[in-house]
Chains A and B, each alone.
Chain A
Amino acid sequence: MYPVLRKVSITQQAFVLNPALTVCRARPSVQHPVWCTDSVNERQYRSMPTHGIGRWKYLLPKRQSKEKKKKGRQMRPIVAATDTAYGTLNVMVSGYDMTLVEHYSQYIHNLCHRLGIKVSESYALPTKSTEVMLMQEVGTKMYVDAVLKTHERIVQLSSLNTTLCPVFMEVLLKTQPEGVQLSVNEHTEDQFKARFKARPELEGLIAQINH
């Protein structure tokens, strides 16, 4: 019953819309039939029997919230170098101009994302201040001429393919800005330990125990 009706109505529509094209076969247009509202997207009201149809998350078992460990206490395992890939490498960017250093390290990070190199960590080492002291022209006293701050940023790569390495290094060298030093070394545990502050009481206690 219904299909027949539909065909009739549409053909009538077709004729109305395209009076010129009498020869063409009446094609059912893509319009949705009038009585079919998009009830799939409309939410059912709470009194409707189908209210809440489609909920499923309440059926899953409750997941414990992740216990937050203090990030950074444990060192990430150092990846060893294999035949086809370098191990954990530290790309260190340092310089006097902070904007240049930061932007360059961000550029390196984005480049690694682009090339598919996995970046395990990206951190900054504390800033070192250097005082430039000049001798006075008259007398022996030195006076402070300038204070230079050296900023350092490290991007740690977890594995770098040997085939990708030359390309990566070349891009890095060609885009290195003026006044910025670039250095690539392997990551060692000593470098990791050097980031922590010394704890004199702990060391004192350990020395006492060992005595």
Chain B
Amino acid sequence: MAAPCRRMANRSLLQFFSHFSRTAVRNTGFREFSSNSVCRASLQTKTVTETATSPWTLVAAVCLQRLPVISADLHPLEQEFKEMMLQMELERSLVSDHELRVLEESERMSRKKADDYDSDEEGSQGNQEIMLAQDMEDAWEQKLKNFQLAPRVTADIDKDLTSAQRCLADSLFLLAEQQVGREKLWLLPQTQWQEGETLRQTAERALASLPGNTAGFKATFLGNAPCGVYKYKLPKAVRTESTVGTKVFFFKAILSDSAPPTSPSLLWLKKNELQKYLKPAYSMKVDRFIINM
């Protein structure tokens, strides 16, 4: 009898060409993010012929993050240090061209106002500038006053947990309320793995099949490798021969949409708020790969 052969699913490398940019907070309130895969190699999934099927059900989950839009507020110590450094740099710096011009022109004005002013002695500068440097400075000041900055922190949006525009200085993670077994739990969106697809495709499917997701989240997955795993053994009463429990593989993705669809069953939470909604064992595993800077 021929020995059973097992072939691993062969995945060629994904070569990506990404462009990330931070735009002004004003209009979008979000970071633009675009990625075009130049040659996304087709994933060759060969059929895996295994004799022994594992007793674990495989599930892929997606950890969708909204990156921070503005930089975090400075610690008071950092603020003091920054001010000190600015002061030091100002004291050590040389006078710039514009400042030299201002000084020259103020000198010239004071000489003009003196009684013994002789315009012939003024020197070889034939053409007097139309716009004095001081006038230019005043015009710039006016422009600055007219410019409206968007607020960094809006208290009411911050309290709304379903909005993706809250807490612009932190990174937010998407949590969905899903039915697992008999109860409804808050967890990172997940679906079960099906034959013939890669785990990353399962994670993409999980994101697309979210209930509040009519338009679809535009997300970019960072790589094919999962970032974390959570093992869940079913209670002994429910365990059978073929199912001992579930293994959940987490994939990281970045939200590239500025206005994602909102729904009451989807929450955007910071890392410290996640603990209130996740089960302790689950949250322990999830905390390991969630980076909070």
A: residues with CB less than 8 A from B are: 81-84, 86, 162-163, 165-167, 169-171, 173-186
Contact = CB atoms under 8 A, between A and B. Distances in A.
Q: Which 6 A-B pairs have the closest CB atoms?
A: A166-B222, A166-B223, A181-B21, A163-B225, A182-B20, A165-B223
Given A82-B13, A86-B15, A185-B17, A169 B222 contact: yes
Contacts of B254: 170, 173
B13 A83 contact: yes
Nearest to A84: B13
B224 interface: yes
Nearest to A182: B20
Contacts of B65: 170
Given A165-B222, A171-B293, A180-B22, 9 more contacts: A83-B13, A84-B13, A165-B223, A171-B291, A177-B22, A181-B22, A182-B21, A183-B19, A184-B17
B18 interface: yes
Interface centre among A176, A177, A179 (most CB of B within 10 A): A176
15 contacts: A81-B15, A83-B13, A165-B225, A166-B225, A166-B227, A169-B222, A169-B223, A170-B252, A174-B293, A176-B22, A178-B71, A181-B20, A183-B18, A184-B17, A186-B17
Contact of A178 (B11, B17, B22): B22
Interface residues of B, number: 26
Interface in B8-37: 11-13, 15-22
Interface of B: 11-13, 15-22, 65, 67-68, 70-71, 171, 222-225, 227, 252, 254, 291, 293
Contact of A176 (B19, B20, B222, B225): B20
Contact of A174 (B16, B18, B21, B171): B171
Q: Is the interface of B mostly helix, strand, loop or mixed?
A: loop
Contacts of B291: 167, 170-171, 174
Nearest to B254: A173
Contacts of B224: 162
Given A162-B223, A165-B222, A86 B13 contact: yes
A84 B225 CA distance: 10
A174 B67 contact: yes
A27 to B, nearest CB: 51
A185 to B, nearest CB: 6
A153 to B, nearest CB: 15
A166 B252 contact: yes
Nearest to B253: A166
B225 A179 contact: no
A101 to B, nearest CB: 13
Contacts of B22: 176-181
Contacts of A83: 11-13
Most chain B CB within a 10 A radius of its CB, from A86, A166, A179: A166
A86 B38 CA distance: 14
B236 to A, nearest CB: 35
Given A166-B222, A183-B18, A178 B70 contact: yes
A143 to B, nearest CB: 9
Contacts of A167: 227, 291
Contacts of B71: 177-178
B204 to A, nearest CB: 15
A105 to B, nearest CB: 15
Nearest to B251: A166
Nearest to A87: B15
A174 B69 CA distance: 9
Nearest to A92: B19
A190 to B, nearest CB: 14
Given A165-B222, A174-B68, A174-B291, A183 B20 contact: yes
B232 to A, nearest CB: 23
Contacts of B171: 174
A84 B67 CA distance: 27
A92 to B, nearest CB: 10
A171 B171 CA distance: 12
